[in-house]
Amino acid sequence: MEAQSTETTKNEYLIEIKNIKKEAVILEHTLDTQHQALERLFKLAEFTDNLADEAMIYNIKTAERQITKLIAIYRDLIEAISGLFTDIMSNHLNHLMKYLDSAALVISVPSLIAGLWGMNTGGLPGEHTKFGFLMMIIVSLVLALITWRILRSKKYND
């Protein structure tokens, strides 16, 4: 599970973690109930008197403590792996948003130029020539490439 958490963020692994968490919670509560039952039994003189060996009582208590500790450790590990999945998904989403923001910025430069050039106010450069549209396309592409180059040098498109 830990190895899969560093390689993928597929839903099937998240569902598997959810099921493991659920089972760990059930097991932990079952062991807590068992602990309470054992504590009550050990307080009863009839029960402890019927046990032939004092070492047996000690072994039962020790085993119960060890199991409780192991369950706590496993729950912590499950929580850590679950947090790792969440962090990986957030990281992937951050990179995607960074890329999309950079792409939107690069596309917005030619859109702004085309929008300004397309206004019906008169007096725009290239208005009365055959090459006005071509000039607008070239200027837009050059500015878009400059924007892309600036973002790439600042590593905003990673």
For residue 121, give Cα distances in angstroms to 7, 124, 127. 56, 8, 11
What percentage of the chain exceeds 70 in pLDDT?
A: 85
pTM: 0.52
Helix (H) or strand (E) holding 139: helix 132-153
The CA-atom distances, in angstroms, between 152 and each of 19, 25, 102 are: 43, 48, 9
Q: Rounded to 5 degrees, what are φ and ψ at 37?
A: -65, -40
Predicted confidence at residue 10, as pLDDT, reads 61
Over residues 23-31, the mean pLDDT reads 85
**What is the tens place of the pLDDT at every residue in 110-146?**
888 888 777 766 667 777 788 877 888 888 899 999 9
Contacts of 105 (CB under 8 A, 6+ apart): 147, 151
